[in-house]
A and B are shown apart, each in its own frame.
Chain A
């Protein structure tokens, strides 16, 4: 446990030193604030709780940005150290291979969680500061969104670690990471949409739809944030959510599995590998 914390701490220290923490926090805060104030212009102040609008825009932002940031942080984690020559020294120390992987993962997760909380939190703080009254239900939804966003980040960190232990070169890891990002964030949904159009209005079996939504962590995230409450009507996800029997706990478990399984495989691969 000590070793995991030591490795995590060093990862955070490095993230702070090479401005990763600062850059991602500023990026997320900047975009969140922009969306909050520009995004609320069309809806005005009529009827809708403003924080709910923010939740919808922020989760749409998070779906694109957090996987990208997570993959950028993590694809390099193992293969980069191996290529730079720092890994061989670390492995000669009394520290287990899984402690290295988990420690680094926790370090990266802390960086990502910090940036998300501060960056997205800034939007809520700005709303409160501008005198908006926010209902407890909206606060709860906002907190759920923050938690789900961090979980989404963890999922893609985990996938990044798997890439990083499987490939032999950093450049390959970078390419695969971009491919994974494009697939889950863009291509998958387009293909799904295409499939629905091709089905020409025939009802898609609920089980198939559920499976397809769970097979992509970004869809599970979208459904978790936008499938219920005020956000569902605002985002138009209510329709999909109504057809699907996936409840919030099921979606959360799916995301947790997405975060744990690739990291677990990465651990096994790394343990077997020869340095």
Chain B
């Protein structure tokens, strides 16, 4: 795989305060990466560094083979950016706004209708001033401008905030299409659960430091958080005889947490007596739990 974006030991200080400390990672073509962290953890600073809007205090950033701060036309043209809570000039209509950005990127504006449709901006809204738009509509217009000219790298800062669930779904379908075309997509978010199954890789940032980087499975492996096994017994009065600290849930179900290493063994023992079980559910640790785990580990250090 080829790296579209490389950050090498990047640090950024604002008047003595470190916003980003010694962060290194590579983002590859055709990869969707979730950049996860609290508000103020340094996500937006990292994105600005990758865009070349600010220069690193130390370390280096490479975007599509060049230094983004130089502002090379071909680099800038191949990058789509959606700022956090994007805003536009209020007096212009959606179409005029998009036409303006298309002209700056030297992109043919003829497929505007298609683009508006792709992001779900209703046809009657397109020719109204942006002033009249809801937050969700502005977000959609923001996405439309980020998608202008089929970018090779997309940096999306909190892209789904303000979108309703149906549009979120629509949005992630869009991301899948882009990934299939070989684009690098970086999503920053603090809404973690919705990134599950959407991101190839997760980078967790806390107080400017990269504390985890890997696929969800790898992170699960590193964290080795227990899997929760929830069962319902055929005999409501009985309690489970398998080893482990079973506790009774409301509604009569039983739950136990098992380490990854013991999971298969437990399942084998349980399923050898299928008549005892009415139902069995496995809950792998969610991204939220993983995130909490990595943050906790960081705090402990």
Contact = CB atoms under 8 A, between A and B. Distances in A.
Bound together: yes
A89 B86 contact: yes
A85 to B, nearest CB: 4
B86 A92 contact: no
B129 A86 contact: no
B83 A94 contact: no
Contacts of A2: 103
A96 B100 contact: no
Contact of A85 (B51, B83, B105, B145): B83
SS class, residues of chain A in contact with chain B: helix
Interface of B: 48, 51, 53-55, 71, 73, 76-77, 79, 81, 83, 85-92, 96, 100-101, 103-106, 129, 142, 145
Contact of A274 (B54, B86, B90, B145): B54
Given A10-B92, A85-B86, A94-B105, 20 more contacts: A2-B103, A3-B104, A6-B100, A6-B103, A10-B89, A13-B92, A13-B96, A17-B91, A85-B87, A86-B89, A88-B53, A89-B145, A92-B53, A92-B83, A93-B76, A93-B105, A94-B77, A94-B106, A275-B48, A275-B54
Interface of A: 2-3, 6, 10, 13-14, 17-18, 84-86, 88-96, 274-275
Contacts of B101: 93
A274 B55 CA distance: 8
A125 B193 CA distance: 69
B137 to A, nearest CB: 16
Contact of B85 (A18, A85, A91): A85
Nearest to A10: B100
Contacts of B87: 84-86
Contacts of B92: 10, 13-14, 17
Contacts of A84: 87
A14 B97 CA distance: 11
A48 B167 CA distance: 73
B71 A89 contact: no
B169 to A, nearest CB: 25
A86 B71 CA distance: 18
Contacts of A3: 104
A6 B91 contact: no
A94 B86 contact: no
Nearest to A96: B71
B104 A94 contact: yes
Contact of A17 (B76, B85, B129): B129
A91 B55 CA distance: 14
Given A10-B92, A13-B96, A17-B91, A92 B85 contact: no
Contacts of B79: 92
Contact of A6 (B77, B104, B142, B145): B104
Question: When A and B form their complex, which 10 residue pairs have the shortest distance between CB atoms, in order from nearest?
Answer: A94-B76, A17-B91, A85-B87, A92-B81, A18-B91, A274-B54, A94-B73, A93-B104, A275-B53, A6-B103
18 contacts: A2-B103, A10-B92, A14-B92, A18-B90, A85-B87, A86-B87, A90-B104, A92-B76, A93-B76, A94-B73, A94-B76, A94-B77, A94-B105, A96-B71, A274-B53, A274-B54, A274-B55, A275-B53
